[in-house]
Amino acid sequence: MNTVVENHFIDAASNRHLDWLESEAIHIMREVAAECSNPALLFSGGKDSIVLLRLAEKAFRPGKFPFPLVHIDTGHNFPEVIAFRDKRVAQLGERLIVGSVEESIRRGTVRLRNPTTDSRNAAQAVTLLETIAEHKFDACIGGARRDEEKARAKERIFSFRDEFGQWNPKAQRPELWDLYNTRVHAGENMRVFPISNWTELDVWQYIAREKLELPQIYFAHERQVIPRNGLLVPLTDLTPPRDGETVETQIVRFRTVGDISCTCPVSSDATTVEAIIAETAITQITERGATRMDDQTSEASMEKRKKEGYF
């Protein structure tokens, strides 16, 4: 089941703020289409990429998108999110290219100690680079935001990646007066973030204003979880309890969706977008800080993954 957002009152100041963010994002998308020869838009079925699709509709409809949609599928994604992804792509009538981590494992380019249960989140970087190389994409549009995590805050809107797909935070290009240098040599590419300046609250307010449909996983529901290191690990075949741990049934929702092996829900009774907006307005923990096990390995874990090609 998916949820369609009901009408939500947003005051005039908030509307003006969303109008400004929307206008900037549309300008960035059109800049990609004008300056890049073979771009793609990453679409996972998550809330940020759902917002990107609406922005692309506003930028390019009634014509077709000037780029395909791309998803890097770990094979360990939440099934309701994948179902939503396929439904939304069919509604839009756009082309979806799926890069499979499972295929990278079969090829031997990704090696995990236990391919059945190990987290495949970091392995996405390899499959993404392979997908970029196969289709010769020179730009990939994504939904990353600077407020998600401190490594994200170092990103430019047009984030340059070298011929190895790697990111060097000290070698990024200036972006003065909304002027973007998109030139790349063969093998190099750009990662482009049209909603880089948005916050989690902005995203939810935009979802409310645009009445965007979402996977039900974003709203409060009953789920079995395992309290672990301050997080609530969802009970699945991929994430069973460890020795000494207990399984609890709680009312939770997901603030972000990703690989099952590293994405946790949060305690919440928010069943509507209005309630989520109210929660988000007072939260003191970042989206990834509250939900991602893979970011707990070290303070620089995200930055290390990004340097290796992670989005």
Chain segment 193-222, per-residue pLDDT in tens: 999 999 999 999 999 999 999 999 999 999
- Dihedral angle computed from the Cα positions of residues 160, 161, 166 and 169, in that order, rounded to the nearest 10 degrees: -10
pLDDT of residue 2: 59
* Residues of the chain predicted below pLDDT 50: 6-9, 295-298, 300, 302-303, 305-306, 309
pLDDT of residue 291: 59
pLDDT of residue 179: 78
> Using an 8 Å Cβ cutoff, are 78 and 93 in contact?
no
Closest CA to 247 of 226, 221, 223: 226
**Looking at the DSSP assignment, which residues form a beta bridge with residue 140?**
40, 191
- Three-state DSSP at 266 gives strand
- CA–CA separation, 101 vs 120, rounded Å? 7
- CA–CA separation, 287 vs 122, rounded Å? 18
> Using an 8 Å Cβ cutoff, are 265 and 223 in contact?
yes
pLDDT of residue 300: 46
Helix ranges (H only) for the chain are 12-35, 47-60, 79-92, 101-107, 124-135, 200-210, 273-282, 287-291, 301-307
pLDDT of residue 105: 92
pLDDT of residue 174: 75
**Every domain range in the chain assigned CATH 3.40.50.620:** 4-203+299-308
What is the topology classification, in CATH, of domain 4-203+299-308?
Answer: Rossmann fold (3.40.50)
pLDDT of residue 15: 86
Closest CA to 99 of 132, 122, 146: 132
